[in-house]
Amino acid sequence: MGGSKRFYTFPRKFKWSVSCSLTPPKLACDWHLWKQLGHDFPLSLWPPHFHEQTSIEAVIDFLKEAHISNLTCPLFLSDIMPTPHQINTDAIQVYVNRLRQLKTHGISVTLILHPFIHPTWFHEQTPWHSPSSVESFLRPFKQVIPILMPFVDQWITFNEMNAWLFGAYFEGCFPPGHMNPHLTAMACRNIIECHVKLYDYLKQTQLKLGFDQSVGLSLHTSYFYPSRKTHLGDWAKASFMTRVYQQSFFDIFKKGTWAGTRYLKETPIDLNFAKGALDFMGLTYFSQTAVKSQADMPFKAKPSPSISKSPLSLLNWESSPKGLYKVLKQCATYKIPLYICDNSFPSLNEQAKSRVVHQNLFQIKKALENKVPLKGYCYGALYDSQQTKHQGIASWDAHKRRLMLNKSGIYYSGTVKTNTMMLHA
């Protein structure tokens, strides 16, 4: 190759992870509301669970075999507080036991405190647009956090906070299903206040217990591009979507302002109390999104074959690794450490999935070379099932009763083991 570089080595402390739930959400969660709104969530978006077909021991064995030393997993509030005044100590102990096992085997944990799902009572009694929501959400975590802290390496307070906010309060496609700009602004303010109070409580508890753990939240991201190349309105809408849907949430922690209120035609919210209350910003990225000037704010990929030949996933997401690089460059301007905390490509074709994994990692390499402050990467699903729609890097072998690496998993595991990737797949 005439001396051309064949390999790239990632930074020495680059964090590699994969996501998987420690326990399934119980019936106390708001499943019925998701189903009423036409979703299969959460069963379609979370991996199968340990007690159904495998065990925590099998997962640990697999992670060690795959050389993956960090697991990103959610904590379900519906487990630990199924009613407004009941703390489920048995559920907390389940989390403690499984987190302790992971730590014993040298596997660190990134724990998500708000993974979209709520207890049924939350929307009815203390919904996010209500001022009482903040203390209602904080109360159980003030009991749980000191217990779990010895087994956690990193915290994410709210997962894909922007997607949940707009979906639940503006488009009405997530529970509680509102379509109200005023309530959207109120819910945003209360969620940010809750994040800041969680951030402060985590830092105070770490100081008391002698830990040093980073705390952030995550945003859903997409590369928004004009559906029609020569249409100025489409270009303007793509820029607007990037600004309101993604960049405005960085502004909350850098400037104490949120541009979303202008879009919602609401009175600006004073968020100065949130400035600096963030150690990192997590990013989830699955696709690029075509937008048209006359369309409403889109939350699902809308492929435009006339200008894009990107492969589509089983969920109809328009894969675009180059879009990932563009999103990372956009976010890097805020000079906040970044983590990719969810990225996957659901596909029946393992070769296609492996190719997308390679291409995504190549764009991450490119971003790192261009000084993007990216600190880690999490592949979005540990193992395949009917529920995860072939997102995972592994499949459960019922005959051998163990997790087996898929082709995409073999590639990812090899990259993690050596901290190096081949530049030519």
User: How does pLDDT run along the chain (425 residues), one tens digit per residue?
Assistant: 344 578 999 999 999 999 988 876 665 677 677 777 776 654 444 444 444 445 788 889 999 999 999 999 999 998 899 999 889 999 999 999 999 999 999 999 999 999 988 998 999 999 999 999 999 999 999 999 999 999 999 999 999 999 999 999 999 999 999 999 999 999 999 999 999 999 999 999 999 999 999 999 999 999 999 999 899 999 999 999 999 999 999 999 999 999 999 989 999 999 999 999 999 999 999 999 888 887 555 444 344 443 456 667 666 777 889 999 999 999 999 999 999 999 988 888 888 889 999 999 999 999 999 999 999 999 988 876 555 557 889 887 778 878 889 999 999 999 999 999 988 65
Reported as type and span, the H/E element at residue 17 is: strand 15-19
Q: Which of 222, 344, 345 is nearest to 290 (CA)?
A: 222
Question: What pLDDT is attached to residue 205?
Answer: 98
The answer to whether 191 touches 165, Cβ cutoff 8 Å, is yes
Paired tokens of 122: 């939350």
Listed in sequence order, the residues at least 6 apart from 207 whose beta carbon sits closer than 8 Å to its beta carbon are: none
3-state secondary structure of 250: helix
Residue among 275, 305, 280 at smallest CA distance from 290:
305
Contact 63, 55 (CB under 8 A): no
In 3D, which of 342, 399, 358, 360 has the Cα closest to residue 163?
Answer: 342
Instruction: Kindly state whether residue 181 falls inside one of the protein's structural domains.
Output: yes
AA identity, residue 84:
P
Task: Please name the residues in contact with 418: beta carbons below 8 A apart, sequence gap of 6 or more.
Answer: none
CB of 253 within 8 A of CB of 274?
yes
Residue 2 lies in a domain: no
Helix (H) and strand (E) counts for the chain?
A: 15, 13
Is residue 197 in a domain?
A: yes
Q: Which amino acid is present at 248?
A: S
What are the distances in angstroms from CA 246 to CA 215, 218, 258, 354?
A: 19, 11, 11, 28
CA-based nearest residue to 413, from 52, 34, 65, 30: 65
The encoded tokens of residue 391 equal 């997102």
Rounded Cα–Cα distance for residues 258 and 256 (Å): 7
Q: φ and ψ at 33, to 5 degrees?
A: -70, -40
What CA–CA distance (Å, rounded) separates 45 from 377? 19
Instruction: Report the pLDDT value the prediction gives residue 33, as an integer from 0 to 100.
Output: 79
pTM of the model: 0.92
361 alpha carbon, distance to own chain's centre: 17
- Let me know: does 197 contact 261? Beta carbons within 8 Å: no
CATH number at 294 reads 3.20.20.80
Residue 341 in any domain: the answer is: yes
Domain assignment of residue 1, yes or no: no
CB 287 within 8 A of CB 224: no
Is 228 contained in some domain? yes
Q: How many domains does the chain have?
A: 1
In a domain, 277, yes or no: yes
Residue 194 CA: distances (Å) to CA of 51, 134, 150, 217: 32, 5, 22, 11
Residue 224 lies in a domain: yes
Predicted pLDDT of residue 34: 76
Domain residue limits at 103: 7-422
Longest dimension (CA), the chain: 69
